[in-house]
A and B are shown apart, each in its own frame.
Chain A
Amino acid sequence: MDAELMQREFMYPGHVACPGCGAAIAMRFLLKALGEKTVMIIPACCWSIIAGPYPQSALKTPIIHCAFETAASTASGVRAALDMLGDTETTVVAWAGDGGTFDIGFQALSGAVERNDNFLYVCYDNEAYMNTGIQRSSSTPYGAWTMTTPGRDWKKMRKKNIVEILAAHRIPYVATASIAYPDDFIRKAKKAKEIKGSRFLHVYTTCPTGWRIPSEISIKIARMAVQTNIFPLYEVEDGTRYTINYRPREYLVREYFRMQGRFRHLTDKDLDQIQKMVDEDWQRLLSKAGQG
């Protein structure tokens, strides 16, 4: 890893994230890769709070807070203005949670990337509406408890596959990344920074509060998500060229699920079903990468 790059910080020491928050870690890594010539556009999400109340800021870059559904369209406008002002150097980043990306911001995102607008969209995915207190989103995985999928009503639908949807727009670059794999994450962020057009990073960010896990296993859970193939690390260029960045030893999903309070209600039979779904998804990915 680039030692100098890991030394530089564009987050101030103070922020108001929960202990073990993956979203705070992800922002720190992202800015190490992108540097200070970055405009950060943040819709309603945990980061509306984490960034600090007026007149404070947790970041050494400008932040534009925007309406929930408008991260992508605001970023398109910022890019258009910078281009008109002759500034092609500054990186424009839309930084949104899964609710703001998979759900309410989806139209704006699809519109922006269909136009191939020149900015980097980063979705930090904590798999539910965490800032409002743990409600189900279309990114919430099969099997999960949330405040709106309580008891027997645990979520019975699959998580929306946002990466495939973005890839289907044939944009230059789509990749997944994880806070447990900083080298891979930073490499992808740096790569995305150099590409023109729409770029999308889907970052797995643990939420100890919402997932009912101890904060000290935040990174461990993130690593297990990759190692179980629940959250594979891969890139898709121009919507067609797939590269799988990490070939795990295919741990069973059971251990990952058993460590999280949000999945406590699942039976062994449910977990067998989930293992099947994960294996199936992994095979599909392998075949897309020509390794099936």
Chain B
Amino acid sequence: MRRVIEGSQAVAEAVRLSGVQVVSAYPITPQTHIVETISDYCEKGEINATFMRMEGEQSCLAALIGAQAMGVRTFTATSSQGLAYMHELLHWASAARLPIVMAEVNRALAPGWNIWTDQTDSLAQRDTGWVQIYCEEGQEVLDSTLIAYRLAEKVNLPVMIVLDAFFLSHTYEPVDIPDEDEAHRFLPPYKPQFRITTADPRSYGALVTPADYMEMRYDISLAMNDVFLQLDDIHAEFSSIFGRTYGPVEALNCEDAEIILLTSGTITSTSRLVVEKLRKQGEKIGLLKARLFRPFPVDAFRNNLKKARKVAVIDRNCSFGAGGIFAQELKAALCNDDVKPLIYSYIAGLGGRDVTPDVIEDIYWKTKSADTPEQESVWIGLKEVSHGR
């Protein structure tokens, strides 16, 4: 059924279709519509789950760690400060190998208080062992959430579905909502690979000495690497049922492009317009959308970027002292390749500032005119202010 819904509702629809059994929630703008919608579905009996109204995000994730370990499908959503508050438990969930699915709405971190979109919150969690999938529009949000359960439960790692505040979470778009039979064909009821039971009492998460800890961490690393293979299969199966195709990245006009824009989230949609316009003007511009961030899809980036002369990475995030995070990761991924493009790093749109077609076009022309990239990330659209020191 095709309905015009918010990005937040797209998450909630997928959660309804997932057969989730335990949901935990704590309010934070702008993820609130997600859990409010789920709460409503639980009350109406359209979702048969226990809806836990927690007293903080840390407890939200802790409750799911307990629930998932007992062998039920779980969900929560958060944003920004809430995600930062969960940090310790993010590590816990992945190291306990629990396939929890969480929606994370990208919002800037305080101070000053800012509820608008910015990816630094989720990217700061890149080392926590969570799979991260960045979405561009409502349909992708719904589809990715269903895909997330399949993937998580296959590799026993938690998955974060990431969507931009307001530009996606609160934007109404037409979205195809699968019917329940279709959804269940893709995502059958949960069969945990392990669960905790009094019939087979074991100790989970006990003290581990240096003699064993490393092997446990290597297992997580192997599971992360397995994501590429498993996700390809799951994407293929998704496509065969629903007719919509996804990959770790999405390439547009990359085959013959001299300059490729690398984007994620809703900046991608705006970039599509720019690519279309500049192509018409004869510019050899391409667009590569990063969908999967953890694990970092090195091969997909390499394959799509190898023929380009330059890549302009637009980061709506910043690792202070190192620059745009997608750019950093891309440089690290390509550094040992013989043939590689020059990588231009731009920071734009922090704290929800608009990244308009003009901004993106400006980035393109800057990249084209500079023979070599700046060493540091270039901040786009800064106002004239005194940076007194």
Contacts and interface: CB of A to CB of B under 8 A. Distances in A.
A77 B92 CA distance: 15
Interface in A53-106: 53-57, 59-67, 69-70, 72-78, 80-85, 90
A54 B56 contact: no
Contacts of A115: 52-53
Interface stretch (B200-208, B266-274, B284-292, B355-363): B200-208
Contact of B209 (A39, A53, A108): A53
A78 B66 contact: yes
Given A51-B203, A63-B204, A67-B92, A85 B70 contact: yes
Contacts of A48: 206-207
Contacts of A196: none
Interface string A122-143: 0000000000000000000000
Contact of A56 (B52, B71, B203): B203
Interface residues of A, number: 46
B183 to A, nearest CB: 19
B83 interface: no
A38 interface: yes
A65 B24 contact: no
B63 interface: yes
Contacts of B70: 39, 77-78, 81-82, 85
A107 B196 contact: no
Contacts of B67: 77-78, 80-81
Nearest to B53: A115
A49 interface: yes
Contacts of A41: 66
Nearest to B55: A111
Nearest to B20: A84
B50 A74 contact: no
B45 to A, nearest CB: 14
B88 interface: yes
Contact of A54 (B92, B198, B203): B203
A110 interface: yes
Interface in B71-120: 71-72, 74, 88-89, 92
A136 B79 CA distance: 35
B234 interface: no
A52 B203 contact: yes
Interface string B23-44: 0100000000000000000000
A108 B53 CA distance: 12
B24 A77 contact: yes
Given A67-B88, A84-B22, A76 B201 contact: no
Given A57-B202, A64-B66, A108-B59, A80 B50 contact: yes
Contact of B196 (A54, A62, A84, A110): A62
Contacts of A112: 59
Nearest to A37: B198
Nearest to A49: B207
Given A39-B196, A53-B209, A85-B72, A66 B50 contact: no
Interface in B49-70: 49-50, 52-56, 58-60, 62-70
B206 to A, nearest CB: 5
Interface residues of B, number: 42
Given A73-B54, A84-B50, A108-B55, A54 B89 contact: no
A171 to B, nearest CB: 15
A164 interface: no
Interface centre among A56, A65, A73, A111 (most CB of B within 10 A): A73
Nearest to A115: B53
Contacts of B60: 73
Contacts of A82: 70
B127 interface: no
B64 A77 contact: yes
A279 interface: no
B303 to A, nearest CB: 40
Contacts of A77: 22, 24, 52, 62-68, 70, 74
A18 B71 CA distance: 35
Contacts of A184: none
Contacts of B63: 73-74, 76-77, 80
A36 interface: yes
Contact of A62 (B24, B88, B92, B204): B204
Contacts of A70: 58-59, 62, 65, 89
Contacts of B209: 53-54
A114 interface: yes
Contact of B71 (A52, A81, A107): A81
B8 interface: no
B263 interface: no
A82 to B, nearest CB: 6
B21 interface: yes
Contacts of B59: 70, 72-73, 76, 107-108, 111-112
Nearest to A58: B203
B384 interface: no
B270 to A, nearest CB: 40
Interface in B335-382: none
A75 B206 contact: no
B197 interface: yes
Given A38-B198, A54-B212, A62-B198, A69 B207 contact: no
A64 B24 CA distance: 19
Interface in B154-194: none
B92 A81 contact: no
A60 B200 CA distance: 9
B208 A53 contact: yes
Contacts of B89: 67, 70
12 contacts: A39-B196, A57-B206, A59-B201, A62-B197, A73-B66, A75-B66, A77-B22, A77-B68, A80-B72, A85-B72, A108-B59, A114-B55
Given A62-B196, A76-B52, 19 more contacts: A41-B66, A52-B206, A54-B212, A57-B203, A64-B196, A65-B204, A65-B206, A70-B58, A70-B65, A73-B60, A74-B62, A77-B70, A80-B50, A81-B68, A85-B71, A107-B55, A107-B59, A110-B55, A111-B59
When A and B form their complex, which 4 residue pairs have the shortest distance between CB atoms, in order from nearest? Answer: A111-B55, A77-B66, A77-B63, A65-B205
